Structure 1
Amino acid sequence: MLRKPVARIDLTALQHNLRQVRQLAPESKVLAVLKANAYGHGMLKVAEQLQQADAFGVARLDEALSLRAGGVVKPIVLLEGFFDADELPQIVASNLQVVVHQQEQVDAIVAAELDAPIRVWLKMDTGMHRLGLMPEHYQTAYQRLSQSPNCLPAFRLMSHFACADDRQSPDTQAQLQCFYHHSQGLAGEVSLANSAGVLAWPESHQQWVRPGIMLYGVSPMLQQQAMPIELKPVMTLCSRVIAVRSIAAGETVGYGSAWQTPQATRLAVVAIGYGDGYPRNVPNGTPVLVHGKRYPIVGRVSMDMLTIDIGTDAVQSGDEVVLWGQGLPVAEIAAKVGTIPYELLCNITPRVDFHYNSSAL
């Protein structure tokens, strides 16, 4: 029996979530986002299970090359584009597609001597103010790239939403209006909707949607806003109890004596800590599951262990403990820490074993 953390990856849930995307945007192609090691789930394994997607999106060239080295032949889009003109020959050789989001990239493509043209996704900054050509420069960049033999015809036109997770925000509608106004008359398939756009803004679906976090079973929406479909968690992070001990009333637990028991109780020590990617700063009372029942974390999370208060319950050494996933949403743990689920999923370290299965948990 393994006494170390395991991330169980439910591939059936992953495929279910992709079907939910198709249900919401039946007329759209799907660019499945696999950046950051597929949000911590294992990029190559996830890619192998998402063959029904139309293309994959990654952030950087090394991620794309890892997929190609793993045998992935499906179209791959570099969502951050390229950082240096020297990367363009490799992009051509690996048959990659690029997001172009600044004038320097436009200049580099036009000036390059390439063996074959590349597919360009031309990005407009409609209000996110992170990446993208300013709206007033968009048409000029489009026309200049259209005249270059280094670009395949029929560009893809795109932008990115800043507040799509909030249905009450006026920003998404303003971004849509900005995009359509400044791309008027330009030919090309359109991609606007991230996960929140897929869920909450059907008018943004267009020819391509770009689901990321929702593929992994996590809602991108603000907590109080319900979803129109059911997503299933793909990752269940679990470990095991390695010790059980009794302590008297008034005793303290862990570094800094950060928790003191008000009464005699029993503690279970769980083999997981911040060295495995579980957040160190979870407060006392953050739940875990043992045999489907919630128990509170007490004391500080240490590098390799954390402690839970089990009272008089029959928890014993070797029992499995679920930190998040099936039965305990990662979003709930993230809220306790004051962060977002994305960060927790991406922070799992190589000390954790990954077990992939194709049956529902």
Structure 2
Amino acid sequence: MRCTKAVIYKDNLKYNLEQIRRHVRPKTEICVAVKADSYGHSAVLTAKTAHEVGGINYFAVATVDEGIELREDGITENIIVLSLCVPEEFDSLFSYSLTPFTFGEDYISALSEAADKFFKKDEKFPVFLAVDTGMGRIGCYPDEAGNEAKLIEQSAHLHLKGMASHFCESDSVTTECQNFTHLQYEEFCRAVENVQAKGINPGICSIGNSAAIMNNHDMYFDMVRPGIITYGYYPDQITKEYLQSRHEDFDIKPVMALETQIVAIRHFPKGKSVSYGRTYFCEDETDIAVLPVGYADGLLRRFSPGLEVTINGKKYPVCGRICMDQCMVNIGKDNPEVHLWDKAIIFGPEESGALTTADDLAKTGGTISYEVLTSIGKRVKRIVK
């Protein structure tokens, strides 16, 4: 097996899911985001671990193929498809009992026509009405919600199972962003009321994401949708320290460690350049360790300079540009603590021995932990520990 691998700490995953279940009100449904292969952590593993925890009845994917993978691995809980599908995928939605987001007269009509051809008399297919309360992505406007819910309910084979929207700034603690989050909540309430005014049951209503679960307890509605907190990272400014300042305690643990091994140690004289573009020159005589991990594995090129990896309990800087399949680390001259074949940990939880997290990498690269985690490529084998 290739030495570059992602180690998934299942106990940490289970711990996070238990924390979410404990934190959320007992009657509130939980829909765990397992899209993008659970942010790179294995959607099937997450779903099966959630089943062990209990009380989690929904999973959210981004594509029909992701939903099919879960079904074919024996996941029987409700699966919601968050992104819009194309007509060629409608039959798969029906066949695998995947619940889609829908909105807009043309889209609802196309889905209804496909359902008419697929289902027998009196059979109903559940859908969620997507509502745009400020995200500016998909969804009808609140004033349109009543009429679009009516279109769904008038269809011979569609049924309104629920309504959903998505916060765009709930992970920021500034007054402006929190005010906009409250405005989105109010807009969603108005959309639900417009559906009710048509005499239609809005079903399961959902808007709360990871940040809202921890910071906006009054915005849960019927179902929350935890994403990044499932995998052990806090969303932007809603940090553990911030929550503690508000007398809240929400503890989570990173789930993934990215690790590899030293495959070469080379002596470099003062002034020798390292990697593409000759952006790095050795200031003194030193030794350079070569690691077989690069941007094709998800170690993004922009992480250097700044990235430090952990080797035997100490951090060492990556030097020069990260290559597609390799990177180089300055370990200092004649370092007795670093040897050929030693493990090098890019990021991970404390249990892995890492001194760096995906959040640290994100800050180095000017991005977010979500991108760090989901960038870990398929050729990096996932090992469950």
TM band (smaller chain): over 0.9
* Cα shift at 1:3: 5.5
2:246 alignment partner in structure 1? none
* Cα shift at 1:213: 1.4
Out of 299, 302, 308, the residue aligned to residue 323 of structure 2 is 302
Q: Residue type matched to 1:24 in 2?
A: H
1:157 alignment partner in structure 2? 163
* Cα shift at 1:104: 2.1
Q: Secondary structure at the match of 1:164?
A: coil
Q: Secondary structure at the match of 2:361?
A: helix
* Cα shift at 1:148: 2.8
TM-score (norm: length of structure 2): 0.87
Q: Comparing both structures, which one devotes a greater share of its residues to helix?
A: 2
Q: Residue type matched to 2:348 in 1?
A: G
Cα separation, 1, equivalents of 2:159 and 2:77: 17
Question: Unaligned 5+ residue runs, structure 2?
Answer: 244-248
Question: Unaligned 5+ residue runs, structure 1?
Answer: none
* Cα shift at 1:182: 2.7
Out of 106, 110, 115, the residue aligned to residue 108 of structure 1 is 110
What's the % identity of the aligned pairs? 29
1:137 pairs with 2:144: yes
Cα separation, 2, equivalents of 1:335 and 1:172: 25
* Cα shift at 1:36: 1.0
2:343 alignment partner in structure 1? 320
The within-5 A match list for 1:185-334 is 186=196, 187=201, 188-222=203-237, 226-227=242-243, 228-311=249-332, 312-326=335-349, 327=354, 328-334=356-362
* Cα shift at 1:45: 2.3
Cα separation, 1, equivalents of 2:378 and 2:185: 40
Contact 1:20 1:230 in 2 (8 A): yes
Cα separation, 2, equivalents of 1:342 and 1:135: 29
Contact 1:109 1:150 in 2 (8 A): no
1:10 alignment partner in structure 2? 9
Post-superposition CA distance 1:163-193 (Å, at most 9, x none): 0111221210110111112321623221111
1:96 alignment partner in structure 2? 98
Contact 1:103 1:133 in 2 (8 A): no
Post-superposition CA distance 1:205-242 (Å, at most 9, x none): 12101111111112112377734412111110000011
Contact 1:124 1:134 in 2 (8 A): yes
Contact 2:172 2:238 in 1 (8 A): no
Contact 1:3 1:318 in 2 (8 A): no
Q: Residue type matched to 1:179 in 2?
A: F
Cα separation, 2, equivalents of 1:308 and 1:102: 53
Cα separation, 2, equivalents of 1:274 and 1:89: 37
1:354 alignment partner in structure 2? 382
Cα separation, 2, equivalents of 1:26 and 1:7: 33
Cα separation, 2, equivalents of 1:126 and 1:136: 10
Give the 3 Å change call, closer, same or farther, for CA 18–253 of structure 1 in structure 2. same
| Structure with greater contact order relative to length (CA < 8 Å, sep ≥ 6) | 1
Contact 1:259 1:284 in 2 (8 A): no
Give the 3 Å change call, closer, same or farther, for CA 26–241 of structure 1 in structure 2. same
Bigger mean CA deviation after superposition, 222-231 or 69-78:
222-231
Post-superposition CA distance 1:25-68 (Å, at most 9, x none): 12311111111111111222222222132111111111111111
Contact 2:103 2:139 in 1 (8 A): yes
Q: Secondary structure at the match of 1:152?
A: strand
2:173 alignment partner in structure 1? 167
Contact 2:211 2:238 in 1 (8 A): no
Give the 3 Å change call, closer, same or farther, for CA 117–87 of structure 1 in structure 2. farther
1:338 alignment partner in structure 2? 366
Contact 1:56 1:77 in 2 (8 A): yes
Cα separation, 1, equivalents of 2:366 and 2:300: 11
1:56 pairs with 2:59: yes
Q: Secondary structure at the match of 2:263?
A: strand
* Cα shift at 1:314: 1.6
Cα separation, 2, equivalents of 1:309 and 1:223: 35
1:33 alignment partner in structure 2? 33
1:66 alignment partner in structure 2? 69
TM-score (norm: length of structure 1): 0.92
Contact 2:103 2:148 in 1 (8 A): no
Q: Secondary structure at the match of 1:239?
A: strand
Bigger mean CA deviation after superposition, 202-211 or 217-226:
217-226
1:179 pairs with 2:188: yes
Cα separation, 1, equivalents of 2:180 and 2:213: 16
